Structure formats: structure tokens, C-alpha cells
Structure 1
Amino acid sequence: MFAIFYFLLIRPQQKRQKAVQQMQSELKKGDKVITIGGMHALVEAIDEGTVIVKTTDGSKMVFDRAAIREIRSEA
């Protein structure tokens, strides 16, 4: 029973968590990102635990790295 839960629930969640952590560690200046709140922005500067993003209207905001949901790829 435990093996079923491990392969169906625990292992996939660990893989997703590892992928998100890797993405957040690979952030760089100039990346277009989407935050967990749904805001689209451009990475202006990066610190160890924080990211400064610039929105389309020019305002700058400070977020924790963990608040970055994904990096937008140019289509």
C-alpha cells in the first residue's frame, strides 16, 4: 500500500518540487517571469533570496524567489 502511494503521490510531487527549485535557482536578469499571483514582469535584479521585477508600466517590485512560478519562453 505504501509503495502505491509513493509512486502515485509522493514521487511525482518531489520531482515537481525539484524542477521548480531548479528553475528558481537559474533565474537571471532579463528573464520574463510570471509570479504566483499571476503578474507578468521582467527580472531587473536578483539577490540570494529576493528578485526585483519591473512591470510594463515601469514600476519595480521586490519578491521572494519562491514567488516566481515560471519563466516565460519567447514565442
Structure 2
Amino acid sequence: MTFFSQLLLAQGDTQPPQGGIFGNQFLFFGLMIVMFYFLLIRPQQRQRKELEKRLAALQKGDEVVTTAGIHGIVHNVKDKTVVLKVAEGTMIEFDKPAVATVLKKESAAAVSK
């Protein structure tokens, strides 16, 4: 008998492991869930918290852009709404979540120069 035939006889009728490259399907689905969390869910949570922090720090004179694309300067901040000055003598009241971008007074002045 050759070496290879003895090796095959010693192994018996063992079959290769099932499940492909990851071993089993549960491990694959677990890895997919972890990837979705770190690539999609976690960055969105971080952005939401950052926006909530900026909305809580809104004050008169800040330049903002709403989700509708309207640029304005904060005239008055209330509990749930913010009043924006969009033109001379024109005030519009928005819900706070409608504010998409906040530029502070100092950064707004630096951008305009």
C-alpha cells in the first residue's frame, strides 16, 4: 500500500465540514449584524446626537439652514420652535428639528468674509 492510500484508510469516512467558509450560517448572520451596526446604525446615532446638541445650543444671531434649504438668522428661540429672519422684516417660525445646519456667529462671520 502506498502512503496516500494508508492515509485515506486511517481517516475513515470523514466528510469535510459543512457550511462553507464561515463554518455555519449563524456565525455569518452574526457578522452581518455587527457590520450593519458599525457601518450604518452607529454613525447615524452619532450624527443625531450631535445635531440635538447643536439645536440645544441655538442662540440669537446664529446662522442656520433648514431642511427645506432656507437660510436665515435666528431671531428668537422657543421651547419647540425657532424664529428665523430670512430677509429684512421677514420672520418665519420653524420647528427645531427642521434646522439641518447650524453656523455659530463667529463661523458665520468668517464664512462671509
Give the aligned partner of residue 92 of structure 2. Answer: 61
> What SS class does the counterpart of residue 69 from structure 1 fall into?
strand
Unaligned runs of 5+ in 1: none
Higher mean C-alpha deviation, range 26-35 or range 52-61: 52-61
- Deviation of the 1:58 alpha carbon: 2.2
Unaligned runs of 5+ in 2: 1-31
Give the aligned partner of residue 47 of structure 1. Answer: 78
Paired-residue identity, % = 39
Give the aligned partner of residue 14 of structure 1. Answer: 45
> What SS class does the counterpart of residue 87 from structure 2 fall into?
coil
RMSD: 1.0
The one-letter amino acid paired with 1:24 is L
Task: Tell me which protein shows more helix as a share of its residues.
Answer: 2
Task: Tell me which protein shows more strand as a share of its residues.
Answer: 1
**Higher Cα Rg: structure 1 or 2?**
2
- Structure 2-normalised TM-score? 0.63
Q: Distance in 1 between matches of 2:100 and 2:52?
A: 10
Q: Distance in 1 between matches of 2:44 and 2:75?
A: 30
Structure 1 residue ranges, 4+ long, deviating more than 2 angstroms after superposition: none
> What SS class does the counterpart of residue 55 from structure 1 fall into?
strand
- Structure 1-normalised TM-score? 0.92
